[in-house]
Amino acid sequence: MDETASTLKLALPQVERPACPDTMPFCFLAALILLYYYMGSPELLNGAVLIVFLVGLGFFAGAYGTLVGIGGAVVLTPILLLIYPGADPRVLTSITMAVVFINALSGTAAYMRLRRIDYRSGFLFAIATVPGTVLGVWVLGHIPQKTFESIFGAALLMFSVLIWTKPRRTVSFASGRGAPVAITDRHGEIFSYSVNRPLGVALSFATGFIAGLLGIGGGIIHMPALIYLLGFPAHVATATSHFILVFTGLTGTLTHAVSGAYAQVWTILLPIAAGVIPGAQLGAWLSRRVKGPLLMRLLALALAMAGARMLVLGIIG
């Protein structure tokens, strides 16, 4: 019977697995293009339609941001600027920062259940970002921001191309130069690597500085640094980056709250937050099913979007 079953199995045509996972970055990009397209029809976005759209936007930003470990601001900020072109950029930044915090909190809860967070490294790196952020905010008033945005935007675009073309890189700058770490996740997968924590603290300080200077969450910088400079496995880097964003997002959100930035934006913030929370859970769930190289290409896509936006802001304002 077993021999007959084996013969029948061999005789059946082998159906190839769909290539959808390999085209996922293009699916995300197509979704973004559709969002931008409908931004050109503002009459469609009002009342209940606007609320549903904001919930959907939050869900998409939460899923993508949690999957890649960047918080979702790279998706959220440009679309908010298109929906509300006359709004004060500082107000939109405060909304984005609160959404990053909520997204990081929800995503971190999911990654805690998956047991993929390097808590010791993450806590040290999170502490290091705080003084860097303070310094970045102070320096903001002393250097031409457009020049910095142009240079940094071009650098992000270059990094995105490098990561896209070499998503399988496994050797990092600090490979084998730190404390050994082994993490076993909820499903028994073991991630073994070494971490140069002093270097990580220095990089996190620099990340905080750039985040304070540009008014971003910092995940877009931390993720490639964790992988390419500190040797984190892609999935552990995603989870740990999200854990770090809880601290940086909370700091930024409280700073904006003290200044009264949230007094008039609850009608925008609450629908987006309602979508972000379940979206972050979906992003963490998808992370189990996405291979490291694909995760890196999704990160490259996020870097390209952020870099293009900064470059445009730096050139034309």
pLDDT in tens, 120-131: 999 999 999 888
pLDDT given for residue 14 in this prediction: 42
- For Cα atoms 82, 88, 90, give the angle at the middle one, nearest 5 degrees: 105
Quick check: helix, strand or coil at residue 121?
helix
pLDDT band at 202 (very low <50, low <70, confident <90, very high): very high
Is the pLDDT score of 105 beyond 60?
A: yes
Distances (CA, A) of 20 to 46, 160, 163, 209, 288: 34, 22, 20, 38, 16
Dihedral angle at the C-alpha atoms of 71, 72, 78, 80, nearest 10 degrees? -100
pLDDT given for residue 201 in this prediction: 94
Q: Model confidence over 149-173: pLDDT tens digits?
A: 677 677 777 767 766 776 555 445 5
Q: Which amino acid is at 279?
A: G
Average pLDDT, integer, range 107-120: 93
pLDDT given for residue 21 in this prediction: 45
Q: How far apart are CA 105 and CA 184, in angstroms?
A: 22
Q: Model confidence over 246-297: pLDDT tens digits?
A: 888 888 888 778 878 787 788 889 999 999 999 999 888 887 777 767 767 7
Give the pair of three-digit tokens for residue 69.
């470990």
Q: Higher-confidence residue: 2 or 102?
A: 102
Element spanning 34, H or E: helix 24-39
Give the pair of three-digit tokens for residue 172.
């990092």
On whether the CB atoms of residues 223 and 70 are closer than 8 A, the answer is: yes
The overall average pLDDT reported for the chain is: 76
Q: How far apart are CA 284 and CA 302, in angstroms?
A: 17
On whether the CB atoms of residues 242 and 116 are closer than 8 A, the answer is: no
What is the residue extent of each domain of the chain? 43-316
Q: Model confidence over 76-88: pLDDT tens digits?
A: 877 777 777 777 7
Average pLDDT, integer, range 82-104: 81
Give the pair of three-digit tokens for residue 235.
């999935």
On whether the CB atoms of residues 84 and 92 are closer than 8 A, the answer is: yes
| Burial tier of 267 (Cβ tally within 10 Å: 0-12, 13-18, 19+) | exposed
Q: Higher-confidence residue: 102 or 228?
A: 102
Q: Radius of gyration of the chain from Cα atoms? A: 21
What is the CA 120 to chain-centroid distance, rounded? Answer: 21
pLDDT given for residue 34 in this prediction: 58
On whether the CB atoms of residues 75 and 113 are closer than 8 A, the answer is: no
Of 198-207, 218-227, 252-261, the range with the highest mean pLDDT is 198-207
Q: Model confidence over 42-76: pLDDT tens digits?
A: 555 567 778 888 898 899 888 888 888 777 777 78
Is the pLDDT score of 197 beyond 70?
A: yes
Weakest mean pLDDT among 49-53, 89-93, 121-125, 224-228 = 89-93
Q: Which amino acid is at 314?
A: G
Q: How far apart are CA 269 and CA 254, in angstroms?
A: 15
CB atoms within 10 A of CB 259: 11
Q: How far apart are CA 111 and CA 242, in angstroms?
A: 9
* CA nearest neighbour of 228 among 288, 291, 149, 159: 159
pLDDT band at 133 (very low <50, low <70, confident <90, very high): confident
